[in-house]
Structure 1
Amino acid sequence: MIHTIKSYSWIMLLLAVACDQREQLVDEQSEGFCLSENLRHQLVLDTLRERDITQHITLTGEVSYNPDKVVQFVSWIAGIAVQTHFSLGDFVRQGQVLATLKSPALNTMLAEQRSLQAQRQLAERQYTAAQGMYDDNIAAERDLIETKSALEKLDAELANIEANLALFHPNPAQGIFEIRSPSSGYIVEKNINPGMPINDGDNLFTVSGLSEVWVMANVYATDMQFVQQGMDVEIRTLAYPGAVFHGRISALPQVFDSHERVLKARIVIPNEGLELKPGMSADIAVERRGAGKAVALPADAVIFDDNQYFAVVYGGDCDLQLRRISFVARDDQWYFVDNGLEPGERVVSQNHLLIYERIKG
């Protein structure tokens, strides 16, 4: 029993010595280790300096159309789609025929147009006659006003029906309407196919320009204090790994979305290469600035081991130290250190793990 206790005491003593040695490896200069010339050439060193404390908050979001560049074509007549000349995603030009539609309304509208044209000709003759008689003091001013009012009413009705016909571009010879694109852009929504019945009020298709898109970022209540209008952001998508799109928060509403319970921050971004597609999910990084400054350690120089953070400080080829660090904030680029490092010191940010393993033994 005594022998067992003595053995246990020796083990505890050895552990204490080992721990003490480990502390020395962390906090003091390494002894007996120098960089080889080959390893020295493989190192990358960074000189530490103080920076404003920043932190990147990542928001989720989605690429959306710019509503100012979206045109929806809504039918106000019923009929049957005869042909379509476009597919979802096609680029179309203003005035291009996209579909044809057969509708009983065509004959009705053409008949109404002819009737109004005939009525207008008669009303114009009556107004001309009333004007002449008024000038000759034969007719009263009231008669002139009445004939003029009747002519103006017919003009308005005729202009209205002609505007409606112009919207659908009738082809009386074939008994069809031609539906033409109201603007140039991409077909981003299509709800019409040959043989499909069309009802009054149906949205047949949507045309959108994509040279500029919106990215709608979800701002939860916990992040509201860090997100402000006018902040620059970085946008990343799964479709383009490594690519970063830059934008700025142009609007931040003060009302939560009733369904998702978030604020929808709007980011307007140029899309000249048409890489960003509406409906594409995105991650939006917003830079949060904290109070004060701290030593900024490159994220690549940080070593995480045994639930602790370390950096390799370079004082010379034979002067390498492990430093245990603590930080107040971090992001993908920097760790803002409040203990363990000083401005002006140099740290190893590439191949530092090789040195770490040698020093810690």
Structure 2
Amino acid sequence: MSGGFSRAQLGLAAAALAIVAGSAGYGIALFRRGEQAPPQGADSGRKILYWYDPMVPSQHFDQPGKSPFMDMPLMPRYADEAADEAGIAIDPARTQNLGMRVVTAHRGSLGSSLMAAGSVDFNQRDVAVIQSRAAGFVQRVYARAPGDVVGRGAPLADVLIPEWAGAQAEYLAVRRAGDAGLARAARQRLTLLGMPAGTIAAAERSGKPHNIFTISSPIGGTIKTLAVRRGMTVAAGETLAEVNALGTVWLNAAVPEAMAGQLRPGQSGRARIAAFPGEVFDGRVSAILPAVQADSRTLTVRIELPNHGGRLKPGMFAHVDFGGSQRSALLVPSEAVIRTGTRSLVMLALDKGRYRPAEVRTGSQSGGQTEILAGLAEGEKVIASGQFLIDSEASLSGIEARPVAVRPTPPPAAANAGAYATVGRIDKLDTSSVTFSHQPVPALHWPAMTMTFRLGRPDSARGFRVGDRVRFSFDRLSSGPIVRTMAREGAR
């Protein structure tokens, strides 16, 4: 009929409405009975262990719903996927494209060398403080100024001391009288007044009082302070000058507090100073100061250096090498350690092309090697390059890192794979070597080529024949590449 719906169209619409109403009624009935239809994304035939947000896989939820982190539904983790938590599988071709390099945690020698920057300073233990022995007047000063270098006995000023004149006159009079007892007492009085023995002897020789005293430096060095001027009045005990000796100097090195535990008093230190290129100054640690500099988080380590000829000037900059002894440690390349800020991880290379993160506790570093204190066993395989992408894949898959508390079991030595791996076809085979036409090895920047490898064990090629396609691992030694493991991938 024109301008309206046909009876067939009206019938189809009524049937559709009936189906929708029936489905709604069935859903309401389930709801009233406390039953729900399987959530979106869930397979009703599989057991669900928990629900998780793919962006935050470490957080587990007991019920489905929306993620509190992202505006997206939670995903189920099924029981038959639990085995995947032990590691993730990566296609061998993909690992080759990543340039992934596998190394073995091994025990080796780790040096404890420590370098630090420092500056030369005065030896504050070798300082002379020059004071006036009695009250008087400065009659003469010598041409001295702070910073001047003076020798031992160098004069600084002449001081007139009136009190000494009267005491010396009395002593000379008693001495001429011939009374030995009174003479000894008078002489003792001169000593108590602070008169040097040389001044007393001069008065005895000349028979006249000597009341002008020359103040001189008791040691050789540089004048740090000079507070005496002509015509001034000085009091007994007043400090007139300070002289710092230059026979030895201090080298104050700033050592990070994290490294300070490696140093001990008496330890040797070698300094290199820019003013004397190619020259090394040897000294020993005399003190480790107890206070940490709050702004730089460093400790001051003091080294005492001999200063022959006064060549080392306070304020000179120096690089200090504290040396150190070699010790045995479990080592991995420093590039294999992933530091997140709260923990350190390595990516374990398991069998059958599987990988899993493991938490480790690290120690010292030297020469590109990092010491592993806990979390890894000798002989375990870790990834030294390309591990960040695999770590990201493990995080997205919700795989938990093996904790440090789990004691790892080292693999059998015979099962250790080589550091590099690729796929190739056997072109030639004998008891000591095998020739492969192999695919590229990105970690070594090798293109696809045909080359001969030595066999690590004579029986490692048993059961293989020319034409077999195999996946093999090898080590690159100075004597040439050597095959460690071989696994058949298929025959030609």
* TM-score, structure 1 as length reference: 0.51
* Separation of aligned partners in 1, 2:293 and 2:363: 36
* Separation of aligned partners in 1, 2:228 and 2:186: 35
**Match for residue 214 of structure 1?**
250
- Checking the alignment, whether the CA contact within 8 Å between 1:84 and 1:98 is kept in structure 2 is yes
- Alignment CA distance shift 1:126-1:60 (3 Å): closer
Equivalences for 1:58-69 in 2 at 5 Å? 58=116, 63-65=121-123, 67=125, 69=126
* Separation of aligned partners in 2, 1:294 and 1:159: 71
- Alignment CA distance shift 1:221-1:336 (3 Å): closer
> Is 2:165 the partner of 1:110?
yes
Equivalences for 1:185-200 in 2 at 5 Å? 185-194=221-230, 198-200=234-236
Q: SS of the counterpart of 1:117? A: helix
- Checking the alignment, whether the CA contact within 8 Å between 1:329 and 1:335 is kept in structure 2 is no
The runs of 5 or more residues in structure 2 that have no matched partner are: 1-90, 341-359, 372-381, 385-418, 420-441, 448-492
- Checking the alignment, whether the CA contact within 8 Å between 1:295 and 1:337 is kept in structure 2 is yes
- Checking the alignment, whether the CA contact within 8 Å between 1:235 and 1:244 is kept in structure 2 is yes
Equivalences for 1:69-84 in 2 at 5 Å? 69-76=126-133, 77-80=135-138, 82-84=140-142
- Alignment CA distance shift 1:200-1:241 (3 Å): farther
The runs of 5 or more residues in structure 1 that have no matched partner are: 1-15, 29-48, 128-147, 308-325, 346-355
Partner residue of 2:151 out of 83, 93, 98: 93
Partner residue of 2:189 out of 153, 157, 160: 157
Higher relative contact order (CA 8 A, sep 6+): 1
- Alignment CA distance shift 1:212-1:62 (3 Å): closer
Equivalences for 1:1-361 in 2 at 5 Å? 20-23=95-98, 25-27=99-101, 50-56=108-114, 58=116, 63-65=121-123, 67=125, 69-76=126-133, 77-80=135-138, 82-101=140-159, 103=160, 105=161, 107-122=162-177, 125-126=178-179, 148=181, 150-161=182-193, 162-163=195-196, 166=199, 177-194=213-230, 198-217=234-253, 225-235=261-271, 244-252=280-288, 256=290, 265-278=301-314, 284-287=320-323, 292-293=328-329, 329-331=364-366, 334-336=367-369, 359=445
- Alignment CA distance shift 1:226-1:81 (3 Å): farther
CA drift at 1:114: 0.9
After superposition, give the CA deviation of every residue in 1:119-177 in whole Å (9 maximum; x if it has no partner): 2433xx345xxxxxxxxxxxxxxxxxxxx4x443223113445417849x99x999854
* TM-score, structure 2 as length reference: 0.40
* Separation of aligned partners in 2, 1:202 and 1:18: 86
- Alignment CA distance shift 1:85-1:236 (3 Å): same
After superposition, give the CA deviation of every residue in 1:8-60 in whole Å (9 maximum; x if it has no partner): xxxxxxxx99964542x4539xxxxxxxxxxxxxxxxxxxx953332416375
- Checking the alignment, whether the CA contact within 8 Å between 1:99 and 1:179 is kept in structure 2 is yes
**Match for residue 401 of structure 2?**
none
**Match for residue 478 of structure 2?**
none
CA drift at 1:80: 3.9
**Match for residue 142 of structure 1?**
none
CA drift at 1:272: 1.3
Equivalenced residue count is 258
Q: SS of the counterpart of 1:94? A: coil
Which sits farther off after the overlay, 186-195 or 258-267? 258-267
Larger radius of gyration: 2
CA drift at 1:217: 5.0
CA drift at 1:340: 7.3
- Checking the alignment, whether the CA contact within 8 Å between 1:57 and 1:288 is kept in structure 2 is no
User: Which has a greater percent of helix?
Assistant: 1
* Separation of aligned partners in 2, 1:19 and 1:166: 95
Q: SS of the counterpart of 1:72? A: strand
* Separation of aligned partners in 2, 1:51 and 1:259: 33
CA drift at 1:224: 5.0
- Alignment CA distance shift 1:205-1:17 (3 Å): same
CA drift at 1:118: 1.0
Task: Give the AA of the match of 1:187.
Answer: I
Task: Give the AA of the match of 2:164.
Answer: M
